[in-house]
C-alpha cells in the first residue's frame, strides 16, 4: 500500500506574549493554541501541532479542515512622518 502525502496550508496568527515569547493560534483549527520562546520556535510548535491534528483526523476518518479566510483582518503598517 502506497502512502500519498499531501500538503495543507493554514493561516497562523502569532502574538507577543506578556511573559515573553509568542502565542500562536490557527483560526481553521480552534483546538490549536501553542507557545514558543521565539518566533521561530513558535512557528515550529504550530507546524507540529497542525501535523498532529491532521494525522489524528486522518486516522479517525474525520474531514481535514480548510484554511479560514479572515475577513476584516487588521492591517499593520509602519508609516514614516517627517515634521
- Region 10-29: what's the mean pLDDT? 94
Is 6 a residue whose pLDDT tops 70?
A: yes
In the three-class reduction of DSSP (H, G, I as helix; E, B as strand; rest coil), residue 58 is classed as helix
Residue among 10, 12, 52, 57 nearest 36 (CA): 12
Q: How many CB atoms are closer than 10 A to CB 42?
A: 21
In the three-class reduction of DSSP (H, G, I as helix; E, B as strand; rest coil), residue 30 is classed as coil
8 A C-beta contact, residue 67 and residue 28: yes
Half-sphere exposure (CA, 13 Å, Cβ side) for 53? 20
Is 2 a residue whose pLDDT tops 60?
A: no
- Region 42-60: what's the mean pLDDT? 96
CATH architecture of structural domain 1-83: 2-Layer Sandwich (3.30)
Is 45 a residue whose pLDDT tops 60?
A: yes
The pLDDT score that the predictor gives to residue 47 is 96
Domain ranges of the chain: 1-83
8 A C-beta contact, residue 68 and residue 27: yes
Amino acid at each position: 500500500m502506497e502512502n500519498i502525502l499531501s500538503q495543507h496550508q493554514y493561516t497562523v496568527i502569532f502574538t507577543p506574549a506578556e511573559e515573553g515569547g509568542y502565542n500562536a493560534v490557527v483560526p481553521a483549527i480552534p483546538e490549536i493554541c501553542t507557545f514558543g520562546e521565539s518566533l521561530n520556535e513558535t512557528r515550529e510548535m504550530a507546524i507540529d501541532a497542525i501535523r498532529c491534528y491532521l494525522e489524528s483526523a486522518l486516522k479517525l476518518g474525520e474531514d481535514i479542515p480548510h484554511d479560514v479566510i479572515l475577513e476584516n483582518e487588521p492591517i499593520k503598517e509602519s508609516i514614516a512622518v517627517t515634521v
